[in-house]
Chains A and B, each alone.
Chain A
């Protein structure tokens, strides 16, 4: 009987399934801790790793930032208009700006940036394997080579993905703040003081700390979970389930968990 049979089908194996589940989480957390320690130790930053990190930063941020910023700006513009028009029709226009800043800058943009980077990071494994296969390797050899690179480049990738989330969130937030200002006050400079006070009211110390912490945690989750899932699968090749991207569900779950926790801390 193959070990990959669905364990939950037999109640006698539920304990085993739970243990395996816990071990999988533990593997991920352990890998994350090791990667963090490596990322924080100066000896990691040799010439080779720096170049590698630069490549990943280029791939995860430089290439996608303009398009992501443009798309986010367009969607945000629509949302800003909807919020402003609705608020004005109810006579609550002075609350609109605060709502726009809270909903877009604090909540939507970091989450969408994390999702966007996660898609790219999760695809990276298959994409690199595909590239190697095209270069004339056998599928098995290409897979092995991809895994080797993944293990070697784990720390640079972690850094690059975290940075990708942070930079997209920051750039898009700035654009959205500007768009919100222009939508509410037009191009006149006379609303700056009023606007600054509104932004100041929204970004209380707790909220700012939560925003930064959330963005950093999103970056870590996005960088770590798909890599950990792929490496774990490589350890247990017979558990491979080809229906979904490895680690995608767990990543979504963790992202939603972080978002929910942040909302709960801020508003409850």
Chain B
């Protein structure tokens, strides 16, 4: 038996045992919690995402759907064809959010971690089978920077060229300046457009002449005893002539009707003539037979005397 320490407390062994047990429970609970937090106890299904650059993707990072984590990157590997394969464990209870039409994106911002997201547009599509391989779309803000810088530099160079002393824009502005100067001159806008005050004056004179010409034309055409008056009288005469012609034509029409009636009568008469001729023919045949009869019965028939019909 050990000798007691100077200030030996009571129930030392019991207290030590309580400590040992409670710390043991705490350690076990901590390990259990960490395993739960790592998703060890959750049933998962595998999803393989393919991309061409794995930067920013680390095992353990979340895949989110609508901001909620539904899966965890388990492994990142390089396939024989040089593509990066990201193996994601999706919790089975959340696998319903992934459909065959789902789209996966990998977004890296300038500050902060890379984000792996899933988007599903049509939730009525068939669910994504386990172990499916999908390609992932990359949206990389930092990858855009060199392009943006190059474009910005080009833009600045263009701007510099444009604003240089002998640039086209400067020349155009100078031309505009001259133009507006001319516009402000005695010729006004016309002077600017025509290229000088003399030209503008000529144009004005031409306009004046055209004006006077128009005036004269109006007088001669529409004025008293102008062309238009004569034309109107001629039209009126023509109207009368046309009316006369119309009357004449009506008369001709009546004559033609008469002629038609005459024609019809002539046709009837022609038909009567036919009947008459038939009758004449029949009478002649009858007279002929009568003469022949007389000739036979006549005693001196043998003589050459014979009755001759006229």
Report A's interface with B, CB cutoff 8 A: 48, 50-55, 57-58, 61-62, 65, 92, 95, 128, 131, 134-135, 163, 166-167, 170-171, 173-174, 196-197, 199-201, 203-205, 208
Interface membership of chain B positions 287-299, coded 1 if the CB is closer than 8 angstroms to chain A and 0 otherwise: 0000000000000
With an 8 A cutoff between CB atoms, is B286 at the interface?
Answer: no
With a cutoff of 8 Å between Cβ atoms, the chain A residues found around residue B8 in the complex are 55
| Bound CA–CA A51/B16 (angstroms) | 9
With an 8 A cutoff between CB atoms, is B17 at the interface?
Answer: yes
With an 8 A cutoff between CB atoms, is B305 at the interface?
Answer: no
Query: Given A51-B2, A170-B30, A196-B36, are A204 and B60 also a contact pair (CB < 8 Å)?
Result: yes
* Interchain CB contact (< 8 A) of A57 among B5, B16, B26, B60: B16
B288 nearest CB across to chain A (Å) = 146
With an 8 A cutoff between CB atoms, is B23 at the interface?
Answer: yes
Check B34–A62 contact: CB distance below 8 A.
no
B308 nearest CB across to chain A (Å) = 156
| Bound CA–CA A55/B6 (angstroms) | 12
Name the CB-closest residue of B to A130. Answer: B6
Query: Given A197-B62, A203-B37, are A174 and B16 also a contact pair (CB < 8 Å)?
Result: no
With a cutoff of 8 Å between Cβ atoms, the chain A residues found around residue B17 in the complex are 54
| Bound CA–CA A173/B37 (angstroms) | 16
We find that the number of chain B residues with CB closer than 8 angstroms to chain A is 31
* Interchain CB contact (< 8 A) of B60 among A50, A92, A201: A201
| B200-229 at interface with A (beta carbon < 8 Å) | none
Query: Given A51-B13, A57-B16, A58-B15, are A200 and B23 also a contact pair (CB < 8 Å)?
Result: no
> Can you add 6 more A-B contacts, CB < 8 Å, to A53-B16, A135-B6, A204-B60?
A57-B16, A92-B111, A92-B112, A199-B34, A204-B59, A205-B38
With an 8 A cutoff between CB atoms, is B20 at the interface?
Answer: yes
With a cutoff of 8 Å between Cβ atoms, the chain A residues found around residue B33 in the complex are 196, 199
Check A58–B26 contact: CB distance below 8 A.
no
Check B69–A171 contact: CB distance below 8 A.
no
With a cutoff of 8 Å between Cβ atoms, the chain B residues found around residue A65 in the complex are 19
* Interchain CB contact (< 8 A) of B19 among A62, A95, A197: A62
Check B19–A200 contact: CB distance below 8 A.
no
Check A200–B15 contact: CB distance below 8 A.
no
What total count of A-B pairs have CB within 8 Å? 82
B282 nearest CB across to chain A (Å) = 138
| B93-143 at interface with A (beta carbon < 8 Å) | 111-112
With a cutoff of 8 Å between Cβ atoms, the chain A residues found around residue B34 in the complex are 199-200, 203, 208
With a cutoff of 8 Å between Cβ atoms, the chain A residues found around residue B15 in the complex are 54, 58, 62
| Bound CA–CA A58/B37 (angstroms) | 33
Check A54–B26 contact: CB distance below 8 A.
no
| Bound CA–CA A128/B4 (angstroms) | 12
Interface membership of chain B positions 68-101, coded 1 if the CB is closer than 8 angstroms to chain A and 0 otherwise: 0100000000000000000000000000000000
Name the CB-closest residue of A to B1. Answer: A48
With a cutoff of 8 Å between Cβ atoms, the chain A residues found around residue B23 in the complex are 163, 166-167, 170-171
With an 8 A cutoff between CB atoms, is B189 at the interface?
Answer: no
Check B1–A201 contact: CB distance below 8 A.
no
* Interchain CB contact (< 8 A) of A61 among B6, B19, B59: B19
| B33-65 at interface with A (beta carbon < 8 Å) | 33-34, 36-39, 59-62
Name the CB-closest residue of B to A49. Answer: B2
Name the CB-closest residue of A to B8. Answer: A55
With an 8 A cutoff between CB atoms, is B310 at the interface?
Answer: no
Check A58–B9 contact: CB distance below 8 A.
yes
Check B60–A55 contact: CB distance below 8 A.
no
Can you give 27 A-B contacts (C-beta < 8 A)? Answer: A51-B12, A54-B12, A58-B19, A92-B111, A95-B112, A128-B5, A135-B6, A163-B19, A163-B23, A166-B23, A167-B19, A170-B26, A171-B26, A196-B36, A196-B37, A197-B62, A197-B69, A199-B37, A200-B38, A200-B60, A201-B62, A203-B34, A203-B38, A204-B38, A204-B59, A204-B60, A208-B34
